[in-house]
Amino acid sequence: MYVPPSTQRAPQPTAGSPWWLVIGPAFAALIGLFLVTVIYRFDGESALQLDLGMSSQSLLLNGLVSYLVAAAIAFPAGLLLGARFPTAVTVPAIFSMLLGVVLIAFVPNIGLLLVGRVLTGLGAGAVLGVTIALIRRLQAGRGAAAGITAGLGVLALALAPVLGGLLSDATGFRVVFVVATLFVFVALVVAGILGIVAATKAKPPVPPMPYPPHA
């Protein structure tokens, strides 16, 4: 007896993204926000500025403006592509951050500081865009995720000069960026693993084979 194959279609994936996919880019984005203001301190000139012999204007242009401009350039790409290709955008962006932070940790002059800040800013802007894109696609808890991420981002911006200043006073500014390198590397690993898990879950199920007809 021949049993015709079922015409029922496999369930299509929902439009929303799993909440845990936000973890990787959000963690990297918080590190990126921390790195925006870590080059400053509230009670005077930073160790980075003193060690490299930079004026306040030079620190502003090479350390802050370059970072923000690079982040603004990369942000739209992360926002537009992050919802569809979160891992493909996030992993290269975090890798760019990693290169930039490593370069700053061992920077010998202002020129390489500029390169390091641009690389870090490009990565930070992209992962921030991916984070916002993924949060917008959440089916539940979107407001809570946005509020928590925004609150942690403001906290990172405010605490960076304090924590960076304390660590720089004790060990020098390079150690601050070495520690940041470790956190960026963790974000890279987390984003890669979660991306693999998401890709595995997104594979369509194999349809059942029809029974062959009996003679």
Residue pLDDT, tens place only, 161-200: 999 999 998 998 899 999 999 999 999 999 999 989 988 8
98 domain residue, yes or no: yes
Domain-located, residue 11: no
Residue 160 in this model has a pLDDT that exceeds 90? yes
Domain-located, residue 164: yes
Establish if 6 belongs to a structural domain.
no
Is 79 within the bounds of a domain?
yes
CA angle 150, 57, 43 (to 5 degrees): 60
- Residue 165: its H or E element: helix 142-171
Give the CATH number of the domain where residue 154 resides: 1.20.1250.20
pLDDT tens by residue, 112-133: 999 999 999 999 999 999 999 9
Q: What is the pLDDT of residue 205?
A: 54
Does any domain span residue 205? no
Query: Does a structural domain hold residue 16?
Result: no
With pLDDT > 70 as the criterion, what percentage of the chain qualifies? 86
Q: How many domains does the chain have?
A: 1
Residues in the chain: 215
Mean pLDDT of the chain: 87
Q: pLDDT value at position 107?
A: 86
pLDDT at position 43 is: 84
Q: What is the largest CA-CA distance in the chain?
A: 91
Task: Report the SS3 class of residue 197.
Answer: helix
- Domain span including residue 106: 25-197
**Cβ-based neighbours of 43, under 8 Å, separated by 6 or more:** 165
User: What is the value of pTM for the model shown?
Assistant: 0.84
- Is residue 184 in some structural domain? yes
